[in-house]
Amino acid sequence: ADPDEIGLMNIDEQLPVLEYPQPGLDIIKELTSPRLIKSHLPYRFLPSDLHNGNSKVIYMARNPKDLVVSYYQFHRSLRTMSYRGTFQEFCRRFMNDKLGYGSWFEHVQEFWEHHMDANVLFLKYEDMHKDLATMVEQLVRFLGVSYDKAQLESMVEHCHQLIDQCCNAEALPVGRGRVGLWKDIFTVSMNEKFDLVYKQKMGKCDLTFDFYL
């Protein structure tokens, strides 16, 4: 869509979340192909068509230290969740797999096991910040979308504007979208404990993350 038109769209209807009751599966069924559908579900809970390679999956992973900070801010910002505990307690819950959607460690490793599947594109949030243009090119090739240089440059510029808005918006926690946010929140002891848990749960996995940019 034209970038100026995107702002006028109802995001919940244009990009519905598979497991959310609103707008619901009826809206998803009414969308014409190619459809864009979001989900936070683990790989094993996604529709079988995805497992069979009949649909394409784009998976975005983020380094877990920044993710847990963002997740904490998200929980505190929503009235429906209204989390009022400390970040230390929230981080302990994260490390012990006691938050919504279960274990992040299992979630990300399960998708990583399928990152070589022809219908799966495994992306990292940090790479988007390092080289957005390359990531957009990966996306269009994966989706089989035709484009010219001018369209690509225009899309990258529009995405940069959206990223800047998210990182600097007064309505959102300061720096919400930046990489390395965890360094302002974690204590030394918390970071040491997190590193230990990370090593225990991810030790056999060759997936790596950039924690510093």
The residues that are catalytic are: 40
> What number of other Cβ atoms are within 10 A of residue 29's Cβ?
8
Q: Which residue has the tokens 């899309």?
A: 155
Kindly report whether the peptide bond that precedes residue 21 is cis, defined as omega within 30 degrees of 0: no
Characterize 119-148 residue by residue with b for buried, 16 or more Cβ atoms within 10 angstroms of its Cβ, and e for exposed. bbbbbbbbbbbeebeebbeeeeebeeeeee
At residue 109's C-alpha, the angle toward residues 47 and 71, to 5°, is: 85
